[in-house]
Structure 1
């Protein structure tokens, strides 16, 4: 992604926990989802580009830290009650099979008309492993290798149908062109997947892949597979240098550096002038945008703090253009739509 249009990209995790105002009322069913749905709509109205839908595969030691909803299902539910915001579901590459994930994410992309994304989770969680009959503890290198192959399988499955495979020509009676359907026949170190996927190619080609890079090895993986890289600000490096490091890794992996969006984590603390500081970082080339992280405190209040900063960034943007309402998430981020691997001119 280039910064030529001057528009700051804003992501934020969607807070699903109840707020203090919810009191001791039961937090389940329609009431619980209504609260989360309202927060998603408020984030959309404030100018947030995408919501990160957290997930985990085991119970948290503190129930307040649980995600409250399975991320893929939540993305599908929010698809029909939002209009522009991207929905990025967390997917465990350790405990999820690629074919299932490909179907979930392709469905979400169709339901949202191209607003779906996903974030691979590669971290070690012994409690989750115990829930999936896996007692061995894979090394960090093995988990990254599995995640890389997971991505290869997903993108291959999403390319099962060419974009123009479905003719739906009522006069000729031709529904689709068989030659434009492709089996995957993937046989790798971790997965053996025949394919093809039984869902048409997603509107974005491939839903946007968001990866958090916590160390150098994560960064190398992100440079190979990610569309959006989430980074913590480094105290010992200038933010501009951090962004350029991502772009250098992308070029080393044979990619166009402008095909990656780099977002810096920004803890929201309510300090005056925060929007101006973000604009200054953006103008200095430190990032293509920011992930706004809610402060500690009651869920409702922290959610409101994030919205206030997002709205201020948009309001103080001057000539900052608005993304078209009908834009896909890739288009909002200035990212190219990938061609299918079987595409021919």
Structure 2
């Protein structure tokens, strides 16, 4: 990804917590109407992608509760929005790769081309208990499982060549069998035959968004991530992390432009927050930002994010706009991965 067009990439987490103006019970309008409206407002304001949070256990704080299952919500929002990216959280500890690959490919086809996913690698003892598992595994094991999970997903998404389905009525040829590829993956954590029973996603692979908290996270992200989310820090530190990610990507056989780095920024209404964001972006430290909603009532938190987005986008008028119908990868300036099979 480059900053050639001067447009700041902006992500934010979709707030699903109840608001003061929620429809009354029995009105025929459930909580999804509120969430869909927030997504549409974020899209209209200029957010590039929404992080659709999820967890596999009850949240200690109602404000942190996801309310909806992420993949299902992303699919519903795919037909309720037209431009914004939809990044669904997926637990690599408890989900199965084949199931996750089908859900994410479906969302990418429904959108079309606006799906992403965020692997959840952190330990959660309550979630482990919900899945009939013993204790929490080590961080190293969780990362190893996540890395293999990514390998299986991308392999399943490459089950079909892009042009496998001809659907030619004149010739009567619907499908080219030679362009179907079983996976036959046998690894430490997963044994998956494949192929996936859905055509290759419009983006090739839905965008992989990974949060980085330490050096081990960074090493994994450099190998597999398309977008890397960093916790709030100063520009100098963020630039150093970005350089390390680019170096790690090159060691893994990737190009620096194969990934984007976004920095967390609180949308807390602080003095000249937008100015500081623009200055940090102009310095080249990062490719964009994840805007964090402030604590407090959901409606007010949502409005705070929208206000900051509007202020930032007001300064984007000099650069080219995002083309209508752009995929999330195209919107972010990320390459579309070629299939791993070279069938002619």
Task: Report the Cα offset of residue 6 of structure 1.
Answer: 1.1
CA distance in 2, matches of 1:47, 1:225: 27
CA distance in 1, matches of 2:35, 2:240: 37
Task: Normalising by structure 2, report the TM-score.
Answer: 0.96
Summarize the alignment of residues 253-332 of structure 1 with structure 2, pairs less than 5 Å apart: 253-332=252-331
The answer as to 2:23 corresponding to 1:16 is no
Change (3 A) 1:220 1:88: same
Instruction: Single out whichever of 263-272 and 34-43 deviates more from structure 2.
Output: 263-272
Summarize the alignment of residues 6-45 of structure 1 with structure 2, pairs less than 5 Å apart: 6-22=6-22, 25-26=24-25, 30-45=29-44
CA distance in 2, matches of 1:27, 1:35: 15
Unpaired segments ≥5 residues, structure 2: none
CA distance in 2, matches of 1:212, 1:26: 37
The answer as to 2:210 corresponding to 1:214 is no
CA distance in 2, matches of 1:28, 1:93: 38
Partner of 2:95: 96
CA distance in 2, matches of 1:13, 1:113: 20
Partner of 2:60: 61
CA distance in 2, matches of 1:239, 1:206: 27
Partner of 1:137: 136
Is the CA contact (8 Å cut-off) linking 1:18 and 1:27 kept in structure 2?
no
Change (3 A) 1:281 1:343: same
Runs of 4+ in 1 over 6 A off after TM superposition: none
CA distance in 2, matches of 1:315, 1:100: 41
CA distance in 2, matches of 1:18, 1:294: 15
Q: Secondary structure at the match of 2:30?
A: helix
Q: Deviations over 1:17-59 (max 9, x none)?
A: 0123449x44998420000000000000000000000000001
The answer as to 2:42 corresponding to 1:49 is no
Partner of 2:339: 340
Instruction: Single out whichever of 265-274 and 97-106 deviates more from structure 2.
Output: 265-274
Q: Secondary structure at the match of 1:285?
A: coil
CA distance in 1, matches of 2:109, 2:15: 24
CA distance in 2, matches of 1:185, 1:287: 39
Q: Secondary structure at the match of 1:67?
A: coil
Q: Secondary structure at the match of 1:319?
A: coil
Q: Deviations over 1:255-313 (max 9, x none)?
A: 10111000000011112322221111111011100000001111001100101111111
Is the CA contact (8 Å cut-off) linking 1:234 and 1:242 kept in structure 2?
no
The answer as to 2:3 corresponding to 1:3 is yes
Task: Report the Cα offset of residue 243 of structure 1.
Answer: 1.9
Q: Deviations over 1:216-257 (max 9, x none)?
A: 100111111100000013359433223222212222222101
Q: Secondary structure at the match of 1:230?
A: strand
Task: Report the Cα offset of residue 63 of structure 1.
Answer: 3.0
Q: Deviations over 1:58-103 (max 9, x none)?
A: 0112333210000000000001110000000000000000000000
Task: Normalising by structure 1, report the TM-score.
Answer: 0.96
CA distance in 2, matches of 1:60, 1:307: 25
Cα root mean square deviation, aligned: 1.6
